[in-house]
Each structure stands twice: as C-alpha cells, then as structure tokens.
Amino acid sequence: MDELDLLKNSWKQSQNNYPKYNDDELYKMLHKKSTSIVKWILIISIIELIIITSLDVFINNTPENDAILLKYHVYHLLKGVTYLHYCIIIGFVYTFYINFKKINVSDNLKKLMANILFVKKITNYYIIYNLSVMAITAIIYSIAAMLYDPTIQQMGSTKNKLVLYLGFGFGLAVSFSLLIALFYFIYKLIYGRLIKKLTRNYEELKKLDL
C-alpha cells in the first residue's frame, strides 16, 4: 500500500494513526506521483523506439529481406512507411517529453489536471497508432505476397489460384491478428497500468478542485 492509499484510508477512518494532510500537501503528493508516471511513459517510449530501430537495422535491413520486398514490388513503399513511422514515433516521444516538463514545473491545479488528461489521450493515440501501423504493414505485405509470390504465379488454373489466395490470405490474417492481439495485450499491460494511475491521480485532483 503506497502513501496515497494510506491517505485515502485516513479520510475514511476517523480513528486511525495516519497523518492528516492539507490540500497543499495533497497537491504536492499527487503532483510528484503524476510527474513520475509521465516520466516512465517517456522512458518506455524511448526504449521502444530504440528496440524497433535496432530490430529494423539488424533484421529487416538485410539483403535477404530486401530481395523479398523487391520481388514483391513493395520495397520502396514499405521503406517509406518505415521512415515515416520513425518520424511519427519521435514526434510522440517529443510530445511525452514536453508534457513531462510541463507537469514537472506545474504549480497550478487546473493546469496539472489538463496536462494529465492530455498525456492520457496522447498515450492512447500512441497505442492505436502503433497497432494501426502493424495492421497496415501486414495488409500491404500479404497482398503483395499473394500477387507476386512465384508459387502462386506458377499455378495455371484461375480456380486453383483463387483457392490458394483464400487459404494464404486466411492464414496470414489469423497469424497477424494473433500477433497484433499480443502487442495490444503488451501495450495495455504496460501503458494501461500507467494510464490507470494517472486517471486515479486526476480523480483525486478533482476532489481538491472542488
């Protein structure tokens, strides 16, 4: 049980030994906790950017992978999507940093509450964006594979190709859906917990605002 939990119990129980806090002390405590949470969101997003970049450099940027993308005629398209993705992720990280600085120096209750709400929204957008990029990339790759894969092109019958298209597409859809679901679970596990803590702090700040 952390200090804020002890404080909430002290409000509910008149006969306890926990110290009493005035509004100013409560504000400082919630301000400190909120700053710490946003700092962790910033740190995790930076770590994620480093991991994604490293994987792209050491795994995706290989001659073998480039040859597959060229064969499927999506090399330039997916490279463009990747570079744009990096720019947008850096934009998210910068936004997290700016709001961390704002919350860190905030000395006004309403401004602190507004910044907390903004960070919650941006974090949710960040999760949705990452999952959307995964889905879009998977769709592009799947369509290109079905159109240009040599195994499919060598099949003479249109009917056989259609059956293979459907089977291949269904298999990829299931695989990518499971992968995206896994990432969604990871994102909600990591960022979701931090968002819940921010929401809790915001609700406590609303009580002070009243």
Q: Which domain holds residue 129?
A: 24-209
- Per-residue model confidence (pLDDT) at position 97: 93
- Per-residue model confidence (pLDDT) at position 18: 44
- Per-residue model confidence (pLDDT) at position 152: 67
Within a domain: 11 = no
- Per-residue model confidence (pLDDT) at position 14: 45
Interhelix angle 109-148/75-105, rounded to 10 degrees, is: 170
- Per-residue model confidence (pLDDT) at position 28: 83
DSSP-derived letter for residue 19 is P
Give CA–CA dist 30/10, Å, rounded: 16
- Per-residue model confidence (pLDDT) at position 55: 80
Within a domain: 64 = yes
Within a domain: 18 = no
Within a domain: 15 = no
Within a domain: 4 = no
Give CA–CA dist 8/12, Å, rounded: 7
Give CA–CA dist 103/31, Å, rounded: 8
Within a domain: 17 = no
* Contact partners, residue 195, CB within 8 Å, separation at least 6: 120, 123, 124
Encode the chain (210 residues) as per-residue pLDDT tens digits.
Answer: 556 566 556 545 544 544 555 667 788 888 888 899 999 999 999 998 888 888 877 777 778 888 888 888 888 998 898 889 999 999 999 999 998 988 888 767 888 888 888 999 999 999 999 888 888 888 888 888 878 877 766 765 666 667 777 777 788 778 888 888 888 898 988 898 899 989 888 888 888 765
Within a domain: 32 = yes
Give the pair of three-digit tokens for residue 141: 């790759």
Within a domain: 158 = yes
The structure's pTM equals 0.77
Report the number of distinct structural domains present in the chain: 1
Cβ count near 43 (within 10 Å): 12
